Structure 1
Amino acid sequence: MSHPPLPPAPPQAPPRPPSWFPDPLDDSLLRYWDGYRWTFHTAARPVPAPSAPPPQQQAVQPSPVPAMRRDIVVALQNVRGVLVGSMKEVNLLPGYLRPEEQVLALTAAQGEGQGVLACTNRRLLFLFVGVVRRQFLEVDWNQTKHIFYSQATKTFSVYTTKFTKRAIPAFTVRVNNLNDANTIAHAAQSAAAAPRLDVV
């Protein structure tokens, strides 16, 4: 009785010749294959040379920061309080000024947010620019009748009507530093037809 023929054996992969190959467990190494098995001999895998760097692009020069106006610099030098949180508004202030308007004094003030209160030769104005909100208040000197500063509440109020207990201010902001409130008031007195500051 004859046996059926055995199926042909699957073709075997040709044996790998002995050589250095990437280590199957560590990409940073080469491991020596002796033709039958991996050996314990390893070597650092050479790092390919970096490709040529892209052509250098010309460095982009930052646009020059405009110099601060001289009148604003002088006003800043006279500030006694802290302007933390108000410098953004100080830097934006020139964009809100009229032609030939000069800043005489300024200080940090609180309205709907921390901003700047500025006295100019034309008016008194408050500027706050927040992420969501902004506030711009102004009263020209020819409309201003009275300025009032309360030491108890640290509020600086500007009236366009005769001051009485029932009068409603054109605007009120908080100025924490009495010296800065006085500086604003003295600057206001030097402006044409500016009223005096009452401090209580």
Structure 2
Amino acid sequence: MSDHSISIVPRQSSYPDKNIKAQEILTWLISQDIVKPTLTDCILSSNNGYSISHGAKQVTNLPDELPFNLITNGLEIITERNVFHAGETGIDECICPNCKQNIASEDWDFLNDWAENKSDTLTCPLCKVATDIQKFSFLPVWAFSDLGFTFWNWPNFTDEFLTAFRHKLGGEILLVHTHI
């Protein structure tokens, strides 16, 4: 069995007061008994995360498929610039909002300036126009932000939970499904 994750990511490269917002979201998730309040080795990272708790049954469409029996079952909070990608699924499309061309098969150096925190734009290798990275369309969904919440091995969330998360973050979110 392979691991997978669902990341909830605000659709903005640089989230204002990201550490304060991360703590606010964590406090909310703990208060709802969705995750436990102490850090443990429950995520696929050198860092620790917050293990699943019984309230998680209220926020997923498939509560019987929650990973209570797995070691990798927690929440990872990312507060550094990160490409939230699909993992082994890769990328089928990256559509430039200017020329409408699929640039997924081009040399991916066009992502370097964003990844190195030099810019929030991508320059299309075909039309050479620089555009905010958030305006590009990626399939499967990829997200680019310095704030994200990755739930390891959890099934899909309820619409109500995602609406509440969107409200807490104060804007549009992206869901990134990763398979490793």
State whether TM-score is above 0.5: no
- Higher RCO, 1 vs 2 (CA within 8 Å, ≥6 residues apart): 2
* Bigger helix share: 2
Normalized against structure 2, the TM-score is what? 0.25
Normalized against structure 1, the TM-score is what? 0.23
Tell which structure's C-alpha radius of gyration is larger. 1
